[in-house]
Structure 1
Amino acid sequence: MKNLLNRKDKKQPKKLPTRITNDTVAQHREKVLAAGRKHKYPIQYTKRRLVWITMFVSVAILAIFVGLGWAQLYLWKDTSDIAYRITKILPLPVANIDGENANYSDYLLYHRSSLAVLQTQGQSDQKDKVKFYQNQSINKALEVAYAKRLARENNITVDDNKVQDLIKKQQESSKLSQSAYESVVKDNLHWSMDELKIAMKYTLLKQEVSFKIDKTADDLVSTIQNKVKSGKSLKDIADEMGNKVQPVFNLSVSTDNSDGGLTKSATLLAKGKISEPLKTLAGDGYYFVTLNSFEDNTVNYSYVKVPLTEFNNRFNYLKNNNKVKYFISIDK
């Protein structure tokens, strides 16, 4: 029994004195530090592990979202509002022309409008028309990309004021109030006014680039101006220029005709006089106009158009010589 009691006494831990004195303060300090170390290192280990787990989960979730987003756009070719918002935030490419990316958002800007029109007409299930408008939309996105590249090379910019002026001219030409004009844009193009401004900016950019780079058209304009100065009529000039120009004779329209400004310009001319080269809202070439007659509200005039061809020639050359890469499947 005595041995058992002695053994039990040996197993019991040595207790610190309850009172802290100069002799026992070191023992109490060591006890406190040991208790701190006991809880500190397991917590540090847990925090590090938690950070790694969080990082791994975050990367995995991000990879899943990226994969789904890629499939949504490049495999399923989604045109939903969510897909459109994603492409407006991220500059994702839908195609590339001679090293210049065409934005996916630009493609959806045009394609969603076309699909909405087909939906309104009850033709959204006609696959041949959907494919046609898809090709048309991606072609427009490629034209925008190529126009942006040429604009940089030629130091051409289009500011918001020019865009607003173009929209105002179109509104005035249509003789609609602002609210009515916005409704027409919404009903026919299914665009908001902000989307219309983007599209108009691209239109202006392409027009200004087309006028800038087309030296052939500039030479034809100079030739026609010289012929006008020599006293030749518009009919004679058209005959001499042949298929280099596009003539239209004896066009009778009302004074409020919407044709980009040709009718208005004709009414300001003296009968038989040929105008200087004019640019219309269409921005597709130079026009030489002559007034034939102007009675009451009817105007009869003729014009010779010098078309712009350089931009389209360059663009088609790149397409026909494998300088275009598509990142979504299209049916050519």
Structure 2
Amino acid sequence: MKLPSKKPKRSRYGTQATSTASATGLKDRLTALKPKQGSKKEGKSAKAKPTKTEASAANPNTPKKFERITNETVAAHREEILAGGRKFKYPIQTSRRRVIINTIIVALVAALLLAAVAWQQLYIAQSSNNLLYRMTQIFPVPVASIDGELVRYSDYLVQYRGSKFYLGKYDEIRIDSDDGREQLKHIKRESLNRALVDTYAAKLARQYNITVSDQDIDTVIEQQRNTANGKISQETYDASSRMMYNWSPSDYRQAVRRSIVRARVAFAVDKTADELQRKAAGLVASSNGEFAKIATELGGSGRSKPQVGDSGLINLASSYNGLAVSEIAKLEPGKPSGAIKSTTDSGYYFVKVNEKNDSKIRFTYLYIPLTELTKQVAQLKSDGKVQEYIDVPQK
């Protein structure tokens, strides 16, 4: 018996077969329409929105959002901050070196400018103000040279400034007048000549082993402190030298030192004057001090010729051509002395006291001058061994 075939169950949308077929077809169509994996990603990346970091970079005004710092991340954040600061370390060191280099350059330029101004003031304008004078005492800049020895500018200025100060304060001539300017030219020449002689004398002193101690300077100053009214104090003496020449105590001591050196060298190098004084000593002893006759017998000419003179009445506390009058006053009147060396580079003296009282004295003298040192300096000038670095009129 033939069973009747079972009809397919009909669903709401049709039969089950139809439903299955339809579902399979729909699945195939969806698979065909679905894009491939690669192209899907590419499309995504092409149409992807910018990230927050990219948006912040594109807009610098966007505030940066920092991550939260925890105990676990604090070490990493600290290292990140330190790493960011290290890039400023070496540029700062470079800047510091640059500051030092720039400072050195500025200092050198300033020093060069100062040297240029000082050179112009000393050698062109020939200024003699206090600042330049103190600078020449610190820095041994030369004003001339003699026989290979540099003449210090300060040695010239101390003489010139003292004479100029005295002229302006005690002389009736005004410095800014025509006569005053002529006097200053003469003072400049005399001061430069004195500095030349002092420098050359210092060179000869080294050759002859001639030295001057502080005690020698004190002895000379001690003698000069004796006045007609008694002995003055050192403070009064220093004030007097400042008032007369505007010299400080150290300036005056240096002037005394140079004077002693010059005098000792002048006596050491002048053999002619030494021979004349030896000859004169014998004649003075045999003639009882007939100085005029002795001078004629000694002969000579020019500056080296022996001279006879009379002091006139002078104060016992004074000095006369480098002679201490107080020492002469100890001689017996009418009796000639032996040879006396002056404390300056003047020469030898034979004296005879003619008149004396409690405060004054009068004596005659036979004078044998020292000329060798001056002759040597003049010869050096003739030989071209003297160079002057400032323009000073000759005479």
TM-score (structure 1 length as normaliser) = 0.85
Aligned counterpart, 2:51 = 8
For the residues of structure 2 that align with 1:224 and 1:140, how far apart are their CA atoms?
30
Aligned counterpart, 1:150 = 204
Matched, 1:197 2:253: yes
Q: Give CA deviations for 1:104-151 in whole Å, capped at 9, x if unaligned.
A: 111111111122123223521132111111111111111111111111
Aligned counterpart, 1:186 = 242
Contact 1:16 1:27 in 2 (8 A): no
Change (3 A) 1:119 1:10: closer
Aligned counterpart, 1:213 = 269
Q: Give CA deviations for 1:248-296 in whole Å, capped at 9, x if unaligned.
A: 3665536727335465455444455432211233441111223456678
Match of 1:253 among 303, 313, 328: 313
For the residues of structure 2 that align with 1:214 and 1:105, how far apart are their CA atoms?
28
For the residues of structure 2 that align with 1:60 and 1:173, how far apart are their CA atoms?
54
Match of 2:352 among 275, 290, 293: 290
For the residues of structure 2 that align with 1:251 and 1:55, how far apart are their CA atoms?
65
Contact 2:260 2:344 in 1 (8 A): no
For the residues of structure 2 that align with 1:84 and 1:299, how far apart are their CA atoms?
41
Aligned counterpart, 1:232 = 287
Between the two proteins, what is the percent identity of the paired residues? 32
Matched, 1:303 2:365: yes
Bigger relative contact order, structure 1 or 2, given CA contacts below 8 A and separation 6+? 1
Change (3 A) 1:221 1:327: same
Contact 1:91 1:103 in 2 (8 A): yes
Task: Please tell me the residue identity of whatever aligns with 1:123.
Answer: R
Moved more, 302-311 or 205-214: 302-311
For the residues of structure 2 that align with 1:63 and 1:250, how far apart are their CA atoms?
58
Task: Please tell me the residue identity of whatever aligns with 2:351.
Answer: V
Aligned counterpart, 1:134 = 188
Aligned counterpart, 1:123 = 174
Moved more, 318-327 or 143-152: 318-327
Q: CA deviation at 1:32?
A: 4.9
Aligned counterpart, 2:134 = 85
Q: Give CA deviations for 1:189-224 in whole Å, capped at 9, x if unaligned.
A: 232332211111111110011111111111112222
- Matched length: 329
Structure 1 segment 47-126 matched on structure 2, within 5 A: 47-120=96-169, 121=171, 122-125=173-176, 126=178
Change (3 A) 1:232 1:53: same
For the residues of structure 2 that align with 1:250 and 1:61, how far apart are their CA atoms?
61
- Name which one, 1 or 2, has greater alpha-carbon Rg: 2
Contact 1:20 1:28 in 2 (8 A): no
TM-score (structure 2 length as normaliser) = 0.72
Provide structure 2 residue ranges, at least 5 long, that are not aligned to the other structure: 1-42, 58-65
Task: Please tell me the residue identity of whatever aligns with 2:102.
Answer: I
Q: Give CA deviations for 1:25-64 in whole Å, capped at 9, x if unaligned.
A: 9966863553243221221232232222222222211211
Matched, 1:162 2:216: yes
Contact 1:318 1:324 in 2 (8 A): yes
Contact 1:250 1:292 in 2 (8 A): no
Q: Give the structure with the higher percent helix.
A: 1
For the residues of structure 2 that align with 1:10 and 1:297, how far apart are their CA atoms?
112
